[in-house]
């Protein structure tokens, strides 16, 4: 199949991935300056922008606005409340701005947004997706009530507290599964391989969504991955960074910011103050080009090389950190050009518990580089197989011989990545069925030659391993740190 067609497929999967992240239990935003609960509770965290003098609204336009509302309210055939018309007008106003980062929140949406920026919520500890109108468990969080209750990836949640979930959408599922930490939810699930649905009562708890993961790859070489920047990210980073430093980072640190869509500016600045040498981290600039805020670091330069991994989905706050480290010659960047979003948003509260998230500034890297719509170029460009970037967002339900389309092509690409020989055509033919049977045989599954939930779970686990073993960007970073000249490149010790 043509390369352009595959690109369309991957773009579609990327959009799905963003929707998955945005709608499920951890919502990660593409803006660096969202003002979450921490900012509301601690004024020091709020981006400081001088108030702007604005002329009073044009009286004729204001009169047009209210006259239209009155006319519709009083004369439209179907009754409609003024409140609905005003909210609709406000939403239309925000949409008309044409900035995807500007959003209107009603009280319910605002509460959801604020809980997500904290990185915690009341729930059972799962991430779900929607496949063929079914709500499917995509992931269970370690130590969560869901894990303790035996929920597993691939389980389909049919009901929650007696309410049918099939066909009702992700938002409805999340609404019913979340709740205060001292409550329970009764769910009915369909499990791959089980003949009858299973009833479970699952407790809810305060779930903290981890955004930092670390390990020692080998002696003296540490690895930290940051998935987004929320209210808990700095504390997680500080704890894990201290732990691996104590383990001995004599050889270097790999900081993985791939697929990180951004988050709270306060969190990324505090992390920057740990890694960026003394001096500027980032500057915030107003719409007239005036510098509003400059964030600085007083950190001592690290005595070991730092490599930062970036890709096309590294956006906003993650670009801020990568750009600062690159400009200050504190790290080398490996991977692909980043997303290119340098706007900063701030939450403004409105009457009746509503709010609007407004773009209020742009940020520039220490060298004055405007990365908006351009992104940050890595020092070393290294590709990554697209299938290894998007496979975790693949769940089409069932596929069998005779099916055709993008989902079949994705399945074929996954099998090909795992070493099974077949033509990638997008048509589920006999060789696809044979390759799938061979995989099922390797995984100890029933040899059906069809793609089902049990096969999906095993296929995803196999690709998790392949993604790590065949991670060309990470492997390049490891080899780069092993090269004797890298310390000089990053300005480290001779």
How long a stretch of residues is the chain? Answer: 494
Q: Identify the segments of the chain with pLDDT beneath 50.
A: 1-54, 487, 491-494
Q: Are residues 91 and 235 in the same domain?
A: yes
Catalytic residue from among 155, 230, 256, 327: 327
**41 lies in some domain:** yes
Counting the structural domains of the chain, the total is: 3
pLDDT in tens, 276-297: 999 999 999 998 889 999 999 9
Q: Other CB atoms closer than 10 Å to residue 120's CB: what's the count?
A: 18
What's the distance, CA 184 to chain centroid?
28
Does the model's pTM come out above 0.85? no
Residue 463: closest CA among 428, 417, 395:
417
**478 lies in some domain:** no
Structural domain of 315: 31-45+59-101+223-383
C-alpha gyration radius of the chain: 25
Structure tokens at 418: 């795992």
Residue 185: closest CA among 173, 197, 194:
173
Q: Are residues 139 and 170 in the same domain?
A: yes
Q: Other CB atoms closer than 10 Å to residue 121's CB: what's the count?
A: 22
Q: Are residues 163 and 241 in the same domain?
A: no
**477 lies in some domain:** no
pLDDT of residue 53: 45
**13 lies in some domain:** no
Contacts of 225 (CB under 8 A, 6+ apart): 212, 213, 214, 256
| Domain at 397, CATH number | 1.10.101.10
**430 lies in some domain:** yes
pLDDT of residue 20: 37
327 catalytic? Reply is yes
**Residue bearing tokens 């001088």:** 50
Q: Are residues 229 and 204 in the same domain?
A: no
pLDDT in tens, 16-51: 443 333 333 333 232 343 333 233 233 223 333 344
d(CA 329, CA 276): 9
Contacts of 197 (CB under 8 A, 6+ apart): 158, 188, 189, 190
Structure tokens at 222: 């540490």
DSSP state of 429: -
d(CA 67, CA 28): 40
Q: Are residues 84 and 229 in the same domain?
A: yes
Q: How many helices (H) and strands (E) does the chain have?
A: 16, 19
Residue 482: closest CA among 220, 173, 137, 133:
220
pLDDT of residue 59: 66
**356 lies in some domain:** yes
**214 lies in some domain:** no
Q: Are residues 322 and 200 in the same domain?
A: no
**Residue bearing tokens 């959003």:** 103
Catalytic residue from among 144, 214, 316, 318: 316
The helix-helix angle for 3-23 and 406-417 (nearest 10°) equals 90
Catalytic residue from among 134, 225, 292, 341: 341
Structure tokens at 193: 């391989």
Q: Are residues 259 and 372 in the same domain?
A: yes
**322 lies in some domain:** yes
Q: Are residues 158 and 247 in the same domain?
A: no
d(CA 94, CA 431): 51
Q: Are residues 276 and 371 in the same domain?
A: yes
pLDDT of residue 38: 31
């Amino acid at each position: 199949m043509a390369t352009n067609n595959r690109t369309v497929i991957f773009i579609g999967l990327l959009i799905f991935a963003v929707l998955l992240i945005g709608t499920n239990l951890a919502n990660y935003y593409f803006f660096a300056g969202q003002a979450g609960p921490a900012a509301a509770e601690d004024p020091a965290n709020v981006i400081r922008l001088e108030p702007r003098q604005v002329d009073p609204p044009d009286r004729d336009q204001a009169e047009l606005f209210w006259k239209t509302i009155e006319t519709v309210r009083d004369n439209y055939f179907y009754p409609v409340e003024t409140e609905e018309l005003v909210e609709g007008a406000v939403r239309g106003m925000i949409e008309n701005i044409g900035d995807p980062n500007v959003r209107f929140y009603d009280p319910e949406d605002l509460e959801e947004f604020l809980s997500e920026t904290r990185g915690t919520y009341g729930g059972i500890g799962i991430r779900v997706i929607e496949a063929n109108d079914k709500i499917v468990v995509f992931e269970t969080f370690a130590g969560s009530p869901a894990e303790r209750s035996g929920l597993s990836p691939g389980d389909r949640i049919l009901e929650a507290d007696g309410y049918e979930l099939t066909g009702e959408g992700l938002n409805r599922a999340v609404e019913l599964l979340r709740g205060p930490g001292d409550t329970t939810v009764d769910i009915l699930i369909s499990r791959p391989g089980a003949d009858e649905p299973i009833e479970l009562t699952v407790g809810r708890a305060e779930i903290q969504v981890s955004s930092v993961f670390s390990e020692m790859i080998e002696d003296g070489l540490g690895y930290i991955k940051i998935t987004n920047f929320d209210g808990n990210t700095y504390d997680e980073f500080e704890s894990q960074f201290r732990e691996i430093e104590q383990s001995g980072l004599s050889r270097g640190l790999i900081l993985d910011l791939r697929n990180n869509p951004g988050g709270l500016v306060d969190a990324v600045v505090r992390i920057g103050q740990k890694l960026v040498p003394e001096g500027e981290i980032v500057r915030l600039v107003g719409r007239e080009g005036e510098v509003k805020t400059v964030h600085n670091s007083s950190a001592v330069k690290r005595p070991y090389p730092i490599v930062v991994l970036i890709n096309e989905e590294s956006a906003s706050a993650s670009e801020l950190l990568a750009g600062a480290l690159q400009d200050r010659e504190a790290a080398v960047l490996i991977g692909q050009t980043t997303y290119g979003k340098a706007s900063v948003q701030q939450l403004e509260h409105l009457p009746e518990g509503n709010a609007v998230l407004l773009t209020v500034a742009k940020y520039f890297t220490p060298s004055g580089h405007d990365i908006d719509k351009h992104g940050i170029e890595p020092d070393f460009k290294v590709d990554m197989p697209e299938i290894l970037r998007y496979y975790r967002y693949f769940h089409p339900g069932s596929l069998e011989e005779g099916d055709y389309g993008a989902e079949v092509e994705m399945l074929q690409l996954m099998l090909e990545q795992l070493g099974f020989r077949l033509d990638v055509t997008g048509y589920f033919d006999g060789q696809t069925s044979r390759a799938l049977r061979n995989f099922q045989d390797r995984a100890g599954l029933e040899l059906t030659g069809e793609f089902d939930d049990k096969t999906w779970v095993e296929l995803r686990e196999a690709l998790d391993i392949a993604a790590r073993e065949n991670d060309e960007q990470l492997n390049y970073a490891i080899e780069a740190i092993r090269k004797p000249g890298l310390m000089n490149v990053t300005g480290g010790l001779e």
